[in-house]
Amino acid sequence: MKKFLLIPQFLFGLVLFAGAQSAYVPYKSDYYHLINRYEIIQGEFTDQFHTGFKPYRRDQVAGFVGDLLSQPLPWGNVDRFNLEYLNTDNWEFAEGETAMSRKPFLKKLYKKPSDFYYYHDDVVDVHVNPVIYLRGGIESGEEDFNFRNTRGVALRGSIDRKVGFYTFLSTNQVVFPSWIKNYIQKNGAVPGEGFWKPYKDNGYGYFSATGHITFPISKHISAQLGHDRNFIGEGYRSMILSSFSNSYMFFKLNTKVWKFNFTNMWAQLNADVILDGIGRPTDGDYPQKWFSHHRLGINLGKRFNLGVFESIMASDFEWSYMNPVIFYRWVEHQLGTPDKVMLGTDFKWNMGRSMQLYGQFALDEFVFKEFFGIDGKNSRRNKHGVQLGYKYINAFRVSNLDLQLEYNQARPYTYQEKFEHQSFTNYRTPLAHPRGANFREFVGILRYQPVPRLFIKGTGVFHEYGADPDEETNMGGDVLKNRLENIGGLGLFGHEIGQGVSNKVAMGTLNFSYMLRHNLFLEAAHTYRKRTAEDLDAPETAHFTRMAIRLNIGREEYNY
164 — phi, psi (to 5°)?
Answer: -100, 155
Round to whole Å and give the CA distance between 133 and 556.
Answer: 10
pLDDT at 379 over 80: yes
In the predicted model, what is the mean pLDDT of residues 56-66?
96
pLDDT at 368 over 80: no
In the predicted model, what is the mean pLDDT of residues 366-389?
83
Cβ–Cβ < 8 Å for 40, 59: no
- What does pLDDT average to over the chain? 90
The pLDDT tens digits of the residues spanning 426-442 come to 988 999 999 999 999 99
pLDDT at 275 over 50: yes
User: Which of 268, 275, 236, 271 lies closest to 251, judged by CA?
Assistant: 268
Pairing of strands 260-270, 304-314: unpaired
Predicted TM-score of the model (pTM):
0.94
Looking from the CA of 268 toward its CB, the CA atoms found within 13 Å total 11
Pairing of strands 540-551, 401-410: unpaired
In the predicted model, what is the mean pLDDT of residues 218-245?
97
Round to whole Å and give the CA distance between 300 and 332.
Answer: 31
pLDDT band at 420 (very low <50, low <70, confident <90, very high): confident
As separate numbers, helices (DSSP H) first and strands (DSSP E) second, the chain gives 7, 24
DSSP labels, 193-236 = TB--EEETTTEEEEEEEEEEEEEESSSSEEEEEEEE--EESSSS
Cβ–Cβ < 8 Å for 498, 466: yes
Round to whole Å and give the CA distance between 212 and 154.
Answer: 12
Which residues, other chains included, contact 207 with Cβ-Cβ below 8 Å and sequence gap of 6+? 169, 170, 171, 172
The pLDDT tens digits of the residues spanning 333-363 come to 666 667 788 999 999 999 989 999 999 999 9
AA letter at 31? Y
Alpha helices by DSSP H, listed for 77-117, are 77-89
